[in-house]
Chains A and B, each alone.
Chain A
Amino acid sequence: MAARNVAMREAIRRALREEMHRDENVFVMGEEVAYWQGTHRVTRGFLEEFGERRVRDTPISEMAIGGVAVGAAMAGLRPVAEFMTINFAFLALDAIANHAAKVRYFFDGMFKAPLVYRAASGWGNQATASHSHAPEPIFAHFPGIFVGCPSNSLDAYGMLKASIRDDNPVLFTESIALYPKPSPMPDDLDDDYLIPIGKGDIKREGGDVTLVAYARGVDWALGAARQLARDGVEAEVVDLRWLRPLDMELVYKSFKKTNRCVIVEESLPMYSFGGEIAANLQERMFDYMDAPIKRVAAEDVPLPYSKDIELLALPNAQKVVDAVKEIL
């Protein structure tokens, strides 16, 4: 099938634009999404195409962005609310965790909140401590909301479409480092190409060790796998894609084959994605375990400004290779 390389931001823009054409109830709101054309250029051209009614600039009011989306969704619209970066979504944590995730539950199913929060996420580029987080696991902590974190363009396209069409609230993170990164998308891609919510994907097959990752972590895992292959070690890369629901079945299947696992994530190490996966593995796969589960995450510090020590704090492919070698 013919394919061409597309940057992830283009894939996200295409998905969003198509969904707005498909469903009149879908609208976007957020800081600088309209006249500024989107801080990350995802909504470039939207104002001209859809107008102010459906492309709504907000003031710098994250609490309101988070909560207005909930009310509008309960009332029957399908908001796609953008947090310029996920760092600012901390200000909206109550709206997300206490309202979006719970309005269905505490009224026992009377309402639904079919909304998507989009948030650019990730470390790096000397953005400094308060603008350098990949805190997806914090949001995945709460039942009632789904969390999607794509690692390439095609996944981002199919995952965002599923998120918009689903009747549950979804927090959808977009790794800033991956926005410009091209990856193949088929030329004849169907408008209804959807990736099921909670379905992981094997990004590389291998029988010696399982690397479990999501979003930017998948890049590091694939880079490590290429390096390991030169030494004759075949790593299987499991991209979970969604932090909630979590496709543990896929991890178990791989682990039964490899009996070894390294978990890779951009986020911080304590109370983390790595901890969650490792806990599930030891509970269910104890008999298949040939070595300790290893975790590669960011260092347990705020991110500094200066370039060299910033890089020291981040995970990379080499750190993954080193972790694998410790358990082979």
Chain B
Amino acid sequence: MISFFRDVLRVLRLPCREQTHLLSRQLDAPLSRGEACGSRIHVLYCRSCRTFRKQIRLLRDLAGSAGRELQSAGELPEDVRRRIVKGIQANRGRDTTQES
């Protein structure tokens, strides 16, 4: 409970620059409950950070739908597959301590 309020207060004191870091981080990892709460309060009264949050979420969603389209974008062509496998066999027995 104490850490919750500590996090809320800490986040509420952060300027917008750090708020945007939290808003972005939230898309990659969960914030602590206190951090999430502080961030939500900041966004309630800060229109610019609210716009920022809305836009990075939209971008993430657009990127995701681009990725889903990618899923149906075709298979490794047979000729390419054959050449790659041939390349693997040509590579065997090579000095494996050398980085390409």
Do they bind each other?
no
Q: Which residues of A contact B (CB under 8 A)?
A: none
Question: Taking beta carbons and an 8 Å cutoff, which residues of B are in contact with A?
Answer: none
